[in-house]
Amino acid sequence: MDFTIIIFILLIPMAIFLLLGIFNQKIKPAVSGYLGVLGLLASTLLSFYTAYQYFFVNGKSNEVYQTFVEKTLWMEFTETLHFDMGILIDPISVMMLIVVSLISLMVHIYSRGYMKGDEGYTKFFAFLSLFTFSMYGLVLASNLFQLYVFWELVGVSSYLLIGYYYTKASAVAAAKKAFIVTRFADLGFLIGILTIGYYAGTYDFGVLNDPGGTAIMNWAATSFMGLSALTWALILIFIGGAGKSAMFPLHIWLPDAMEGPTPVSALIHAATMVVAGVYLVARLFPMFYFVEQGFALNIVAYVGAFSALFAAIIAIVQTDIKRVLAYSTMSQLGYMMLALGVSGYYANEGLGFMASMFHLFTHAMFKALLFLGAGSILHAVHSNFLRDMGGLRKHMPITHITFLIAALAIAGVPPLAGFWSKDEILAAAYEHNKLIYIVGVLVAGLTAFYIFRIYFGIFWGKEKKYEHTPQEAPLSMTFPMLFLAFMSISAGFIPFGKFITADKIEFLAPIHYPLAAIAVGAGSMGIVIAWLFYKKESDLADKFAKTFGAFYKWTVAKFYFDEIYLFVAKKIMFNKVAAPIAKFDKKYVDGTMAAIGNKTVLTSEKIKGMQSGRVQDYAFAFVAGIIMIALLSIYLWPT
């Protein structure tokens, strides 16, 4: 592989970040927009070139996709345990390059229209570039530690972008929430990394993931509380992944993160950063699969399935369209996690792995499209809420059509992209675990329902009184939407099994007609019900909601998770733990330090008489000093 080209994929966004960041005030907004787009375009072309080289020219040897690594030593602890900085090229990292490049490029183009006239236009593009750089670094990382470094960088750029409207209190609060919740999860990740370093003795993905390597072969060597130490490490690492990918119960930051500008939601909180958790599990998939017969992987499966269902239920009753999409994202991420969780490793058993990556790819396309569509709608009606929208299909034809395509894709209607990847996931789940399969079908139905609920609510129904007539977005915004709509239609036809599999040997993944029929049936039912409820304004939905009573209320309140967290944080953590510790710190730790300081100053006051200013005293001290030293040296310390 040509690593000199690949390194530029990373360096270009970094350079643009520095350029825009340092000369923030001096660069005209128009220039900074073009710079951002052109830089990303260059990175995208290089990514595609890399992908072409890898998948079609020299990536395979003996029918197996090879892993290429180029790295430099950064810090060495032992022979095997060291921090490296490097680039790792294998099927999933190349696929992620494509996803990140494509979505980021589209979001850059879109932002030129969306952010027009914003005060911090240049700053915005600087942050976008920083994020893109960090994300590239994350997917290309050659070892766990490097991945962690970029993982945090991604978190920082996410924080900066959520809080982009820093004069808005809710945006600042959301940024803090996202940062603290994910940092909390990252603590687990860090402990997991250290545990891996200690018990596996290496951070290198090549060694860790080798099914015949020392790390996997010796997993049973050490155990802790009934499980292998490595299982614990993997669970801790998964906690980090669950934080970034908004898995239950660490999901609470994602809906609030919608306070950021909508292009940011599309890029970071729908298509790229939030899939980092999925990517992390996929990256360490051989470990998850082999260590302790996949104990940790089962946890991934159940957490994923539960999150998928949980989020889909909440999404049904949200009234803010961006929050609906946020919960939808969480639900679909759960889908990807459960697909990984039910996957095997060798050949066709690895269907779940392939399906998960496939869904990651297609989901990135249609979910980014949904967000960009939502952005275009917000742009036109200046509100996030469903109640302020209606009948927009006449005013915004392109947004309408592209949104419809994305909605059909996420609902799993053939032959759009979501259908294919969802089918593979359900097939994998069916083979492995019937319970998870049923949850999957249920979620498919719910997904179709909630997405068409907002679709009908936005584009059909009665027209609301708008301040000024909504208008279609400019070309800079519609072009990315059209492009992503094209991808949402066609991405499903990519034969993923040829490219991305757990054991890196290609296989054929056929369509499973009976399962597909069931999934499509569930999806269609969701769409039909949504059509009945929301196509025209009616009280059908309200009546229906009433029959659920308390459950409905619970759902609207998102099952009170925010309140539970607040209770735990404020009432228990702050009052019972933090406050006493703070008191102890102030009274005893600070007190001791202050006492030492005061004593020092006092001593210095006491000895000031030594410096008398008289030169004969100085001479006396001089000679006395010599005599004392001489006596001590000659008589006290025997030679």
Partner 1 sequence: MDFSNFLLMRQEIFLLAIILVLIIAEMFMPRKKKGSIVHLSIFLFGIHTVAGFLGIHESSMFGGMFRTNGLIHFFKNLLDVGVLIILLQSADWLQEKIVPQDNVAEYLILLFSSLLGLYFMISAGDFLMFYLGLELSSLPIAALAAYETAKRKSSEAGIKFILSAALASGISLFGISLLYATSGSIYFDDLLVLITSSRLSILGMILFFAGLAFKISLVPFHFWTADVYEGAPIGIASYLSVISKGAAAFILLILLFTILKPLMHVWENIVYGIAIATMFIGNLFALRQKNMKRFLAFSSIAQAGFILLGLIVGNQLGMATVIYFVLVYVFSNLAAFGVVQAISLRTGKEHMNDYEGLYRTNPNLSLVLMLGLFSLAGIPPLAGFFGKFFLFTAAASEGYYLLVFLAVVNVTISLYYYLLVVRAMFLRKSDRPIPFFKNGIYMRLGLIIAVLGILILGFYGPLYDYIYELSGSFNY
Site string for partner 1, 513-552 (x = CB under 8 A): ----------------------------------------
Closest approach, Cβ 618 to partner 1, in A, equals 4
Q: Rounded to whole angstroms, how far apart are CA atoms 208 and 115?
A: 44
Measured in whole angstroms, the distance separating CA 320 from the mean position of its chain's CA atoms is: 22
193-201, 367-375, 505-513, 620-628 -> range binding partner 1 (CB under 8 A) = 620-628
Taking the alpha carbons at both ends of the chain, their separation in whole angstroms is 68
In the complex with partner 1, the residue whose CB is nearer, 557 or 632, is: 632
Smallest CA-to-CA distance from 395 within 455, 470, 466 is with 470
Closest approach, Cβ 477 to partner 1, in A, equals 45
In the complex with partner 1, the residue whose CB is nearer, 64 or 623, is: 623
Measured in whole angstroms, the distance separating CA 10 from the mean position of its chain's CA atoms is: 18
Q: Rounded to whole angstroms, how far apart are CA atoms 563 and 425?
A: 34
Applying CB under 8 A, which of residues 495, 580, 591, 625 lies at the interface with partner 1?
625
In the complex with partner 1, the residue whose CB is nearer, 582 or 629, is: 629
Closest approach, Cβ 73 to partner 1, in A, equals 16
Q: Calculate the alpha carbon distances from 581 to 223, 243, 386, 572, 594 in Å.
A: 34, 27, 46, 13, 18
Q: Calculate the alpha carbon distances from 105 to 36, 45, 97, 442, 528 in Å.
A: 9, 10, 12, 34, 35
The 10 Å CB-count burial string (b at 16+, else e) for 58-93 is ebeeeeebbbbbbbeeeeeeeeebbbbbbbbbbbbb
Smallest CA-to-CA distance from 338 within 278, 412, 420 is with 278
Q: Is 621 in the site for partner 1 (CB under 8 A)?
A: yes
Give the chain's length. 639
Residue type, 75: M
Q: Is 637 in the site for partner 1 (CB under 8 A)?
A: yes
Residue 504: count other Cβ atoms within 10 Å of its Cβ: 18
Q: What angle do CA 516, 519, 523 make, to 5 degrees?
A: 135
Closest approach, Cβ 243 to partner 1, in A, equals 31
In the complex with partner 1, the residue whose CB is nearer, 4 or 604, is: 604
In the complex with partner 1, the residue whose CB is nearer, 5 or 623, is: 623
Closest approach, Cβ 71 to partner 1, in A, equals 22
In the complex with partner 1, the residue whose CB is nearer, 170 or 600, is: 600
89-97, 151-159, 467-475, 631-639 -> range binding partner 1 (CB under 8 A) = 631-639
The 10 Å CB-count burial string (b at 16+, else e) for 407-417 is bbbbbbbeebb
Applying CB under 8 A, which of residues 406, 597, 598, 609 lies at the interface with partner 1?
597
Closest approach, Cβ 603 to partner 1, in A, equals 6
Smallest CA-to-CA distance from 415 within 487, 496, 490, 356 is with 490
Q: Is 72 in the site for partner 1 (CB under 8 A)?
A: no
Closest approach, Cβ 631 to partner 1, in A, equals 10
Residue type, 261: P
- Yes or no: say if 422 and 374 are a contact pair by the CB < 8 Å rule: no
- Helix (H, G, I), strand (E, B), or coil: what is residue 385? strand
The per-residue DSSP string of 566-595 comes to HIIIIIIIIIIIIHHHHHHIIIIIHHHHHH
Q: Is 622 in the site for partner 1 (CB under 8 A)?
A: yes
Q: Rounded to whole angstroms, how far apart are CA atoms 383 and 219?
A: 53
276-284, 322-330, 436-444, 626-634 -> range binding partner 1 (CB under 8 A) = 626-634
274 Cβ contact partners less than 8 Å away, ≥ 6 residues apart: 244, 245, 246, 254, 268, 329, 333
Q: Rounded to whole angstroms, how far apart are CA atoms 564 and 517?
A: 40
In the block, which residue shows the tokens 């730790």?
A: 589
Closest approach, Cβ 126 to partner 1, in A, equals 25
Backbone angles phi, psi at 274, to 5 degrees: -65, -20
- By CB under 8 A, the residues from 600 to 619 that bind partner 1 are 600-601, 603-605, 607-608, 610-611, 613, 615, 617-619
Q: Is 595 in the site for partner 1 (CB under 8 A)?
A: no
255-263, 327-335, 561-569, 622-630 -> range binding partner 1 (CB under 8 A) = 622-630
Applying CB under 8 A, which of residues 75, 435, 566, 629 lies at the interface with partner 1?
629
Q: Is 170 in the site for partner 1 (CB under 8 A)?
A: no
Structure token digits, residue 171 = 């945006």
Closest approach, Cβ 602 to partner 1, in A, equals 10
Measured in whole angstroms, the distance separating CA 340 from the mean position of its chain's CA atoms is: 16
Closest approach, Cβ 620 to partner 1, in A, equals 10
Site string for partner 1, 87-116 (x = CB under 8 A): ------------------------------
Applying CB under 8 A, which of residues 72, 167, 547, 639 lies at the interface with partner 1?
639
- By CB under 8 A, the residues from 394 to 433 that bind partner 1 are none
Closest approach, Cβ 627 to partner 1, in A, equals 9
Q: How many helices (H) and strands (E) does the chain have?
A: 27, 6
Interface with partner 1: number of residues (CB under 8 A): 28
154-162, 168-176, 365-373, 594-602 -> range binding partner 1 (CB under 8 A) = 594-602
Closest approach, Cβ 633 to partner 1, in A, equals 5
Q: Rounded to whole angstroms, how far apart are CA atoms 606 and 406?
A: 80
In the complex with partner 1, the residue whose CB is nearer, 550 or 607, is: 607
76-84, 296-304, 479-487, 597-605 -> range binding partner 1 (CB under 8 A) = 597-605
In the complex with partner 1, the residue whose CB is nearer, 194 or 621, is: 621
Closest approach, Cβ 77 to partner 1, in A, equals 18
Q: Is 563 in the site for partner 1 (CB under 8 A)?
A: no
Structure token digits, residue 307 = 């999150």
In the complex with partner 1, the residue whose CB is nearer, 540 or 630, is: 630
In the complex with partner 1, the residue whose CB is nearer, 346 or 620, is: 620
Residues near partner 1 (CB under 8 A) are: 597, 600-601, 603-605, 607-608, 610-611, 613, 615, 617-619, 621-626, 629-630, 632-634, 637, 639
